[in-house]
Homo-oligomer: A and B are copies of this chain.
């Protein structure tokens, strides 16, 4: 049986109240008494029952995060890094982190959110990867439940979020390729349902239009954010009669798949084909060739949304309720001028 307040009180001939207040650091306990309590607690190996504390305080000091996972072979390094940021910050602030992994936009996911909110399992939630018709956000807003999102939302609801300017990021990336001399630039994005897919694709379009370059439907593909998806879409694009000289990927995993497909066709990435990703997950720096990508500080994003949420929970006003960070293009070796061997080089002139 674990030691409880009552045990300490009995041993010291004190009331439970006094023991509690001594441990709680209240000033109306004699210094000597506090000392005795502290020592007894130490000796007896007392640790407060967190459940009882929660019931009494009516908060759980726990935040929740539901990770959208698709299928058993789900493994997105992006989420590991986000999780590391969130996890470390929660711990630093003496909070707990409740995690669920559920396929996005399913009854299971919905139930999980309901469970967390309605059973008071968590004080607040983090919502990752906002979607176009995001019932999670509608649900949380509707219930007035505290949350912070990583990502914006189309509808006119006012909630706290942090987002990275995917449009500006992808614009930069596209601009970079155009500057190198590319004209025929393909794009393998993420499913349309995801908000960020929207913004990133917008950045591509914006940059292309600015330079009067045609946007061909045939050069715009939709992947599934995995390496495999990138591989397959790239195979298709590279098999075109007039293939692109550069491919922009909606995220790094997709980009890695593109590289893989290119290499399998004997192309040298960075010369015969330029590839640019988005995210800057740790893996891509030491890939071959190292990947040019739009870098967003995933770990710091995790830390920050976590910090925002906890601030919110503690009743503080957020200095910035809606934050947009600017990503940064990191040029590495996977992008270069369209090579002499490129089929469509002449078209570029």
Residues of A whose CB lies within 8 Å of any CB of B are 2, 47-52, 54-55, 60, 67, 69, 72-81, 83-85, 87-88, 90-91, 96-102, 108, 112, 118-121, 226-228, 230-231, 253, 256-257, 259-261, 263-264, 281-283, 285-288, 299
Contacts and interface: CB of A to CB of B under 8 A. Distances in A.
A139 B343 CA distance: 64
A120 B47 CA distance: 9
Nearest to A117: B47
Q: Give 9 closest A-B pairs by Cβ, nearest first.
A: A87-B101, A47-B118, A260-B288, A263-B288, A75-B77, A50-B119, A75-B80, A99-B99, A75-B81
Nearest to A283: B227
13 contacts: A50-B121, A69-B84, A72-B299, A73-B299, A74-B81, A75-B80, A79-B80, A83-B99, A91-B100, A97-B98, A228-B282, A256-B283, A257-B286
Given A120-B50, A282-B227, A287 B260 contact: yes
Contacts of A287: 227, 256, 260
A87 B75 contact: no
In the complex, the count of this chain's copies comes to 2
A51 B49 CA distance: 12
A84 B91 contact: no
A348 B81 CA distance: 43
Contacts of A73: 81, 282, 299
Contacts of A99: 83, 87, 97-99
B69 A87 contact: yes
- Of A100, A260, A282, A285, most buried by chain B (CB within 10 Å of CB) is A282
A77 B97 CA distance: 20
A263 B288 CA distance: 7
A228 B282 CA distance: 9
A101 B49 CA distance: 23
A219 to B, nearest CB: 22
Nearest to A82: B75
A240 to B, nearest CB: 20
A299 B102 CA distance: 14
A98 B87 CA distance: 10
A152 B24 CA distance: 41
Given A96-B98, A226-B282, A55 B47 contact: no
B51 A120 contact: yes
A272 to B, nearest CB: 14
Given A51-B55, A54-B51, A286-B260, A91 B102 contact: yes
A112 B100 contact: no
A270 to B, nearest CB: 12
A298 to B, nearest CB: 8
Contacts of A230: 286
